[in-house]
Structure 1
Amino acid sequence: MSNRKGIGGHHSARANTEVWLTPPDLLQALGGPETFTLDPCAALGQPWPTARAHLTIEDDGLAQPWQGRVWLNPPYTSGVIGKWLGKLASHGDGIALTFARTETEAFLRTVWEQCDALLFLEGRLFFHVAEDQTFNQGGRDIFVPKGGRAPANGGAPSVLCAYGVDCADILAESGLKGSFVPLRLRALSFGFETVGTWVEEVLALIAGRNEPVTLDWLYRKLAGSPKAKRNPNWKAKIRQTLQRGPFEALGGGVWQAQEAR
């Protein structure tokens, strides 16, 4: 991600850089770089991978075609960020990291109106540098080597934006501290509104049977689903869905959907 005047314009440790890197532990929480096909906004000399393929400023990633699941940490300047987020919204498969400037036109048009889910991160992120940098903080110089963490936070809260149902799943399962907000809600006959993910599939099966079901029955019914085929831990995911979703345990491995209130 590149940005003028530091991160957000009020980074408390000044440095002569326009490029700020995604914290690697955040990316790992989303499944690591192998989760993403492309980072179209990677830094020159990127010190660690953020996706299986990278485009830099020399490639003009905004002008190139995008394929697969995209990781996007775009420039945060107001005249540019809407173009990057708009392209990801049109692409429909990816996760973006940006500041939670929820009142801006770009956020309204390309995030609120386009995303499947958001994860507002707790606290403020500490970004990393793409090359050796010397920061001035409190009148003293602080040297940070390439790939190191900046000595001050980004100056504003951050949010992860999911475009596509599978990317919404990634945010929901990341374990990152913050507030998960599903946006594209699908009303079900039970009166619950959820992102169309595992919860929706399990609810649909129970609705079709119209009686409580056993966990083994759900395993058999979902074994051939596309979501199960993509997830080697799909049985654990079904159990997690039952425990966290709008379901009620009746004992003996039997479950039913909660009644609408």
Structure 2
Amino acid sequence: MNAVAHPLKTTPTPKRRVTFKPTKLAVALAKNVGYDRAPEGITTETWLTPPKLIHGDPAKGHTGLGPFDLDPCTPEQGMPWRTAKKMLKPIDDGLKSPWPKTAFVWMNPPYGGHKNSPTSQHRWMEKAAEHGNGISLVLARMETGWMQDSVLNHPNVSSVVFTKGRLSFCRPDGTPGNSCPAGSVFVGYGAEAARRLKRAVKEGLIRGTYLEMARVGRVSSADLGAANDE
């Protein structure tokens, strides 16, 4: 006997919604390995420039790196102390806002981001280098494109200071945080920046090695791109 096959009627299994949570390792990485290396989906804290770097420590005879005319990278919620006469928040868009030519700039930029991102560290360092008058504080990431282009091989760089040990930044409420998980470098653009950085190392405000870039030889080479294209 011929029979017509009919599909069996089945009750569809309800789909379970799967929520992915960061692993303990990912959270540890976000907290301890590098501010610019947090795994996707994990929010890191905002770390502020310690006030003594700007204003000095008179009790120890340390003169600060300030005063500065402009800080284009201050957090939206503001800061417990001033870093410059004019302080721009993200809503002010420090990348698109003009920087007066005579403004001596302090910049502790947002870390990380791909070089093609409109708000990446690469763009911030490009602008600081082209402005050519100020000091930037960044992680000592020697392999990145911004380090190669806007620090080691830019004609406006007058000096650099590689820190001995790791800096401690501050939390948004002004309390001291833990030591930075990587070494830092102060980048000086222009003669005034070189003068202040050299003084800061001599007085002990910054522990590290001062290099005058005019005395550092540079060799041109083909642009093969950075290892991680940042």
**Does the residue aligned with 1:162 lie in a helix, a strand or coil?**
strand
Structure 1 partner of 2:198: 172
How far did 1:19 drift? 1.5
Is the Cα–Cα contact under 8 Å of residues 120 and 158 in structure 1 kept in the other structure?
Answer: yes
Hey, what's the Cα distance between the residues in 2 that align with 1:82 and 1:62? Answer: 11
How far did 1:42 drift? 0.9
Flag the 1:56–1:49 CA change in 2: closer, same or farther, 3 A: same
Is the Cα–Cα contact under 8 Å of residues 94 and 162 in structure 1 kept in the other structure?
Answer: yes
Is the Cα–Cα contact under 8 Å of residues 54 and 66 in structure 2 kept in the other structure?
Answer: no
Structure 1: 5+ residue stretches without partners: 131-145, 188-261
Residue 183 of structure 1 pairs with residue 213 of structure 2: yes
Q: Normalised by the size of structure 2, how large is the TM-score?
A: 0.65
Map 1:234-245 to 2 at 5 A: none
Is the Cα–Cα contact under 8 Å of residues 68 and 85 in structure 2 kept in the other structure?
Answer: yes
Structure 1 partner of 2:159: 117
Structure 2 partner of 1:64: 97
Is the Cα–Cα contact under 8 Å of residues 140 and 162 in structure 2 kept in the other structure?
Answer: yes
Flag the 1:83–1:55 CA change in 2: closer, same or farther, 3 A: same
Flag the 1:10–1:86 CA change in 2: closer, same or farther, 3 A: closer
**Misfit runs of 4+, over 6 Å:** none
Hey, what's the Cα distance between the residues in 2 that align with 1:93 and 1:31? Answer: 19
Is the Cα–Cα contact under 8 Å of residues 133 and 189 in structure 2 kept in the other structure?
Answer: yes
When structure 1 is superposed on structure 2, of 18-27 and 35-44 the one drifting more is: 18-27
Aligned partner (choices 77, 81, 97) of residue 121 of structure 2: 81
**Does the residue aligned with 2:148 lie in a helix, a strand or coil?**
helix
**Which of the pair has more CA radius of gyration?**
2
Flag the 1:149–1:108 CA change in 2: closer, same or farther, 3 A: same
2:96 partner amino acid: A
- Cα deviation digits, residues 18-49 of structure 1 (max 9, x gap): 41101112223485485210000012221100
Flag the 1:70–1:9 CA change in 2: closer, same or farther, 3 A: closer
Aligned partner (choices 53, 64, 68) of residue 36 of structure 1: 68
Higher helix share: 1
Hey, what's the Cα distance between the residues in 1 that align with 2:216 and 2:150? Answer: 20
Aligned partner (choices 12, 15, 24) of residue 51 of structure 2: 24
Aligned partner (choices 169, 173, 176) of residue 127 of structure 1: 169
Structure 2 partner of 1:106: 146
Flag the 1:110–1:95 CA change in 2: closer, same or farther, 3 A: same
Structure 2: 5+ residue stretches without partners: 1-29, 57-61, 115-119, 218-230
Flag the 1:109–1:75 CA change in 2: closer, same or farther, 3 A: same
Map 1:140-155 to 2 at 5 A: 146-150=173-177, 152-155=178-181
How far did 1:165 drift? 1.1
Flag the 1:21–1:186 CA change in 2: closer, same or farther, 3 A: closer
**Does the residue aligned with 2:54 lie in a helix, a strand or coil?**
helix
Flag the 1:9–1:40 CA change in 2: closer, same or farther, 3 A: closer
Hey, what's the Cα distance between the residues in 1 that align with 2:106 and 2:151? Answer: 15
Q: Normalised by the size of structure 1, how large is the TM-score?
A: 0.58
- Cα deviation digits, residues 190-220 of structure 1 (max 9, x gap): xxxxxxxxxxxxxxxxxxxxxxxxxxxxxxx
Flag the 1:148–1:163 CA change in 2: closer, same or farther, 3 A: same
2:99 partner amino acid: W
How far did 1:90 drift? 0.5
Cα RMSD (Å) of the superposition?
2.5
